[in-house]
Amino acid sequence: MTGVQTCALPISPFNIHIVAGLRNHKNCNNAVINVHVGDRTYRALADAGANITLMHSDVARELKLPIHPDSVTASGVNQNQISIIGRTATILRLGSYDYKHCFHVAEDITHEISLGTDFLSKLGDVTYNFTKGEFGARGEVIPMGECETKFAVRTVCQVSIPPFSEVAVIAQIDTANSKLQPKSYCFEG
């Protein structure tokens, strides 16, 4: 197959730096950034937990990109199968840099583009600064979307949430003292 870029790209080692805090900060619930393909702007999730880069099939069709058959299978964070219908290659602009990259084209993803580690490794060290709502790569700062300003909260007892986990904490909020009282986590000793 001439002219078809293979998606088997080597992944270079890179570091991910994460900055997060709770005092008068922006709350960015995910790392969604603007990227450019051709003359269009798309919302892309910079997903350090994904191995491959995905493009929604609607985006590929809108850009009139050829979609080549692909036998890759993928699953999401909940082990739900992602329907990969093929692959395509195009140039993506992030900040002031252009990157030619292979995208797996999917029908059932929530973002227009999802940048996996196969793409993020091209950037060298990257920084997710959730406190300021910024994504940093190659010395450039790119604003994250979907952020809202939050106020500081303190817990009235120590609460430990294991790393690499998501926990829904059911709580009462004491707005007069800016305290969060987790229910059933605080025990009198």
Question: Which residue, chain included where needed, has tokens 């964070």?
Answer: 77
Q: What is the pLDDT of residue 70?
A: 85
Task: Say how far apart CA 119 and CA 89 lie, in whole Å.
Answer: 12
* Angular region, 175: left φ>0, alpha ψ -120 to 50, beta rest: alpha
Query: Model pTM?
Result: 0.68
Non-local (6+) Cβ contacts of 174 within 8 A are: 156, 180, 181
The sign of the dihedral angle between the CA atoms of 2, 50, 113, 128 is negative
Mean pLDDT per block of 10 residues along the chain (189 residues) reads: 47 56 50 92 90 94 94 75 91 95 91 92 85 86 70 52 56 54 46
Task: Say how far apart CA 86 and CA 117 lie, in whole Å.
Answer: 19
Q: What is the pLDDT of residue 126?
A: 86
Partnered with residue 168 across adjacent β-strands are none
Q: What is the pLDDT of residue 50?
A: 86
Task: Say how far apart CA 47 and CA 110 lie, in whole Å.
Answer: 12
Q: What is the pLDDT of residue 5?
A: 47
Q: Are 143 and 133 in contact (CB under 8 A)?
A: yes
If you ran DSSP here, which 8-state letter would residue 175 be given? T
Partnered with residue 99 across adjacent β-strands are 92
Task: Say how far apart CA 28 and CA 146 lie, in whole Å.
Answer: 6
